[in-house]
Homo-oligomer: A and B are copies of this chain.
Amino acid sequence: MNQPAEPLAQAPDWIAVDWGTSHLRATAMGAGGPLANACNGDGMGGLTRQQFEPALLALIGPWLTGAAITPVIACGMVGSRQGWAEAKYRAVPCAPVDAAALTRVPTIDRRITVHIAPGLLQTAPADVMRGEETQIAGALALDPGFDGVICLPGTHSKWAHVSAGEVVSFQTFLTGELFSLLSKQSVLRHSIAAEGLDEGAFNAALSDALSRPEKLGARLFSLRAEGLIANLSPIAARSRLSGLLIGMELAAAKPYWLGQPVTLIGAPELCRHYAHALAQQGVTASVLSAVDCTLAGLSKLKGAL
């Protein structure tokens, strides 16, 4: 979804950038908050090191005036080893972000300065995140006293235990990527609708995966078999696949959510599925917008720069 930048009446104080594998999103920030948004598909996955500065300027150019130097603060995969410049992981336990650990990237264009936020790593069990740490910082900025668990559902879902303003531990699940591969590229693609939710099928599969997680491999093929011989509808099949994979994730993440306050950060529909799944387990989760959290996290970094 492309949204070009329009020239602004007022020059931005700074620019917040969320730069992932497949997207580049920028927000022009004024004293009173966001002035304008822009985004395109120039994610880090498609860029060589020399292409990052031109890609950024192509998106935010209309916001830059010749007069002032505009700080840019970015988070996400742009800071990975294959990104613009490597922003080395910080090890948990630690605060989710730290302005002193930003990586300054030299630019040819003198109208901007660029800083990239590093991700977090955990030594044992080995795990990494990039981008989510800024959303967690944002969630803490929006709800300063929060102590509990933050879940960020997505391609690579993250569960983080947050206490006293620090990320204590976290764990990543391949849930979203498995859903995408299975529903679009496996033999199941013939049986699965592109969208739609059958709540009964979702709930049954969720509960099945939570109580018999080892059955996953067999339950997956049954979506195909029931489509062939028992008229399982493509929407029910999609809902069961989603319920099975989220159920597997909840089964493994139980030490995180059991008896804890849970905050979900992510795309609204996905968060609804997770909130619904957690509610089935007796956990009431609150939901925050990923966009709001990213902006709040980057603002926290800007304030401390």
Which residues on A are within 8 Å of B, measured CB to CB?
A: 89, 121, 123, 125-128, 156, 171-175, 177-178, 181-182, 185-188, 213-218, 220-222, 224-226, 228-230, 232, 245, 248-249, 251-253
Contacts and interface: CB of A to CB of B under 8 A. Distances in A.
5 contacts: A125-B222, A172-B225, A174-B217, A214-B214, A215-B252
Contacts of A253: 218
Contact of A222 (B127, B182, B186, B221): B127
B226 A126 contact: yes
Majority DSSP secondary structure for residues of A touching B: helix
B126 A225 contact: yes
A122 to B, nearest CB: 8
Given A127-B222, A214-B248, A225-B126, A181 B185 contact: yes
Contacts of A173: 217-218, 220-221
A252 B252 CA distance: 17
Given A185-B185, A225-B172, A228-B128, A217 B178 contact: yes
Nearest to A220: B174
B175 A217 contact: yes
A126 B229 contact: yes
Assembly of this chain: how many copies? 2
Contact of A216 (B218, B226, B252): B252
A186 to B, nearest CB: 5
Contact of A218 (B171, B215, B220): B171
B229 A121 contact: yes
Contacts of A214: 213-214, 248, 251-252
B171 A177 contact: no
A127 B225 contact: yes
A43 to B, nearest CB: 14
Contacts of A221: 127, 156, 172-174
A96 B177 CA distance: 37
A161 to B, nearest CB: 14
B217 A248 contact: yes
B172 A177 contact: no
Q: Which of A174, A185, A226, A230 gathers most chain B CB within 10 Å?
A: A174
A185 B172 CA distance: 18
Contacts of A251: 214
Nearest to A248: B217
A70 B132 CA distance: 66
A84 to B, nearest CB: 18
A188 B245 CA distance: 18
Contact of A187 (B123, B156, B220): B156
Contacts of A232: 126
